[in-house]
Structure 1
Amino acid sequence: MNRSKILGLAIVGAGAIALSGCASIREPSGYIVDATLLQSVQPGIDNEQSVVGTLGRPTFESQYGEKTWYYVSSTSGRKPFVRPRIQQHSVLAVKFDQAGNVVSTEQSGIDKVVYLSPDGDATPTLGRERTFLEDLFGNIGAVTQPGVGPGQ
């Protein structure tokens, strides 16, 4: 091979390596979705035990209201040195009755994702703002003696 062909191949190789560094990085997280398993959960037939056996433990459970298990899956993509963005997102909500039987299942996608951007550096709260010195010396004299005060 002559010298110009070797130099040309080296430049093409270096360009390919440089471009591969700019490729998007896919990062899956959460529950790994299997469409066959999702369709196998049937309202009126399955209960908590069978759902755990089929889908595994949920990503999280509802704390208030009717008992609901959520299976959350996301795939984000990002280029190097850029903040990741969600490309795919799905949530399977399995609702149960008081006896632990499946009442309904609902699947939602990326259309329900909300992007929040905070407003400013501080979250507004009720009450007055205190200075550093007020925080530092504010409790002097407010501490009661042992055995004296509320709940004693």
Structure 2
Amino acid sequence: MDSRLKRFTFFCVAGLTAAYLAACSPQIANRGNLPEPEDLAQIKVGQSTKGDVTDLLGTPSSVATFDPNVWLYISRQVETLAFFKPEVTKQEVVVISFDAANRVDLVKEYHLEDGKRVEPSDRVTPTAGRELTILQQLFGNLGRFSDTAK
């Protein structure tokens, strides 16, 4: 009976240790569409067309807002450890620009180090109108509606 208790205790401790170690391992999430380097090397500036790029790399992650001839292939790797804030560990952006004849004009790669931090503004845009209390909102429409179904 004593050996069974020792084995049970050993398996419980081993199970709890395994669960503890598994909980502390980071969760890695890969997102986006990053082309393979050998596929990217096949794109020739001045020769490859939009169709060639689509065949090699697939559809872009995004198209530039103000210029549909600029395609973006974006990839990001994020690690999350337990309850801590997620951290971007790897980010790559491939920008492909096309000229008026739909031929590749520019191929440029950006990495995490090339990014710039943007701090949001805490200013508030004022709006027209007035703020209502909850009671004004609840009772404000009493008596305003007429019976139009007659």
**TM-score normalised by length of structure 2:** 0.74
Q: Provide the alpha-carbon RMSD of the alignment.
A: 2.5
Q: Secondary structure at the match of 1:103?
A: strand
CA 1:31–1:96 in 2, change beyond 3 Å: closer, same or farther? same
**Are residues 32 and 94 of structure 1, via their aligned partners in 2, closer, same or farther at CA, if it must alter by over 3 Å?**
closer
Instruction: Give the AA of the match of 2:124.
Output: P
**What is the rounded CA distance, in whole Å, between the counterparts of 1:28 and 1:80 in structure 2?**
17
Runs of 5+ unmatched residues, structure 2: 138-150
| Corresponding residue for residue 38 of structure 2 | 36
Out of 76, 79, 88, the residue aligned to residue 77 of structure 1 is 79
Q: Which runs of 5+ in 1 are unaligned?
A: 137-152
2:96 maps to a residue whose letter is V
Percent of aligned positions with the same letter in both sequences? 18
Question: 1: CA distance between counterparts of 2:119 and 2:6?
Answer: 53
Identify which of 84, 103, 106 aligns with 1:104. Answer: 106
User: Contact 2:34/2:92 (CA < 8 Å) preserved in 1?
Assistant: no
In structure 1, give the amino acid aligned to 2:37: A
Task: Evaluate the alpha carbon distance shift between residue 28 and residue 104 of structure 1 in structure 2; reply closer, same or farther with a 3 A threshold.
Answer: same
Question: 1:1-152 maps to which residues of 2 (within 5 A)?
Answer: 2=3, 3-4=5-6, 6-65=8-67, 67-120=69-122, 123-125=123-125, 131-133=130-132
Residue aligning to 2:142: none
Query: Quick one: distance in 2 between partners of 1:104 and 1:117?
Result: 30
Contact 1:60 1:69 in 2 (8 A): yes
- Is contact 1:66-1:97 (8 Å) kept? no
Q: Deviations over 1:86-143 (max 9, x none)?
A: 11110000111111000110001101233444454xx433x5775314xx8xxxxxxx
Residue 19 of structure 2 aligns to which amino acid in structure 1?
A: I
Inter-partner Cα distance in structure 2 for 1:130 and 1:117: 29
